[in-house]
């Protein structure tokens, strides 16, 4: 004979607080300090991720610990110093991501049970720290927002990996959703086009060519099935159509290659060099794969590639800012979040 416990006498669950919904914006990451020690810690975490460097065998560990982490941190620290937010003693990526979270919270403040936070995949604040903080605030549902317009295993997937690892250690797990990539979302394409046109209108010159530079990836990863390249092409095609440009007016390239393996081509730096040598004197570069300005846009594009262009005969170079926390950029994030929160708010 079974015993029935009256509902009213049952012990209440531990969490009787009204259920809240957490929204966690996540970007790639940044060193905590713009010195060799800070960059070393960051690079070790980043380059030890098998989603970023898939072959984590003994040879790679020897190269990473014996060469890269001995040589690269000091050089990259000098690059970070060129763009560092000295007022807040942090990288621009951290400053912008925090602002994106603050502005999103303000934009959806009428949903008072939604809590917005932000994290970095590598570095601080960590995904683990912020998921635990949201859970402590009573968030029984969690929307993770990887701030990458185009999906790749080395960006979006590793955010999910880390979120799942955190949840695996929790007894009371929040219900989890993850926003999809938004590479061809009409709101995103429109925001990019408006931003590009607004920036071009401020320039003292008319670019002959616009270069759309996306972060690179080893070609092998795409050959194995990563959809990243296809999505970059889709973004570029949609942007061409919206801006009324052909394949010669807006060209697609890939930047930030690392190591000796073949990466996705054409390479941004080689393209910029060739354009200058071929007689192109005025270009603008936009980076539609980045939701916020960072080392790769502020130093690699706006400084390094600008110098390559001018050194080879180019005259006028413009780096168009990312959407960042602009009104257009925030509208993209807000629409994406509200769409994925349907049924929860």
Strand ranges inside the chain, DSSP E: 20-30, 114-123, 139-146, 175-178, 209-215, 250-255, 282-286, 316-319
Nearest one of 233, 24, 278 to 131, comparing CA atoms = 24
**40 close to 123: Cβ distance less than 8 angstroms:** no
Q: Is 21 exposed, middle or buried (0-12, 13-18, 19+ CB in 10 A)?
A: buried
Q: Residues annotated in the binding site for Fe(2+), as ranges? A: 215, 296
**38 close to 77: Cβ distance less than 8 angstroms:** yes
Report the alpha-carbon distance of residue 87 to residue 6 in Å, rounded. 61
Q: Residues annotated in the binding site, as ranges? A: 215, 296
Angle (CA) 52 46 141, round 5°? 85
């Amino acid at each position: 004979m079974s015993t029935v416990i009256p509902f009213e006498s049952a012990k209440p669950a531990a969490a009787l607080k009204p259920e809240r919904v957490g929204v966690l914006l996540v970007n790639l990451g940044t060193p905590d300090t713009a010195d060799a020690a800070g960059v070393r810690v960051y690079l070790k975490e980043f380059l030890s991720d098998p989603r970023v460097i898939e072959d984590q065998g003994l040879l790679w560990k020897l190269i990473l610990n014996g060469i890269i982490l001995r040589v690269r941190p000091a050089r990259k620290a000098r690059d970070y110093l060129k763009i560092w937010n000295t007022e807040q003693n942090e990288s621009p990526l951290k400053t912008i991501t925090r602002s994106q979270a603050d502005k999103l919270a303000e934009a959806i403040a009428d949903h008072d049970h939604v809590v917005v936070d932000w994290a970095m995949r590598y570095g601080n604040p960590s995904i683990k720290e912020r998921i635990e903080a949201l859970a402590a605030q009573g968030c029984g549902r969690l929307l993770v927002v990887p701030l990458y317009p185009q999906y790749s295993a080395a960006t979006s997937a590793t955010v999910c990996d880390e979120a799942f690892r955190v949840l695996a250690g929790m007894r009371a797990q929040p219900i989890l959703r993850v926003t999809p990539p938004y590479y061809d979302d009409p709101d995103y394409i429109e925001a990019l086009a408006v931003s590009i046109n607004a920036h071009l209108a401020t320039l003292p010159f008319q670019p002959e060519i616009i270069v759309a530079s996306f972060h690179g990836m080893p070609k092998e990863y795409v050959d194995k099935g990563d959809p990243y390249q296809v999505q970059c092409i889709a973004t570029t095609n949609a942007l061409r159509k919206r801006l009324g440009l052909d394949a010669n007016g807006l060209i697609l390239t890939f930047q930030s290659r690392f190591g000796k393996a073949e990466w996705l081509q054409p390479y941004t730096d080689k393209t910029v060099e060739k354009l200058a040598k071929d007689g192109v004197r005025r270009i603008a570069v936009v980076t539609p794969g980045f939701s916020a300005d960072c080392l790769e846009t502020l130093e690699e594009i706006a400084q390094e590639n600008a110098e390559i262009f001018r050194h080879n005969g180019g005259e006028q170079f413009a780096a168009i800012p990312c959407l960042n926390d602009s009104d257009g950029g925030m509208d993209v994030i807000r629409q994406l979040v509200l769409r994925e929160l349907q049924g929860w708010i």
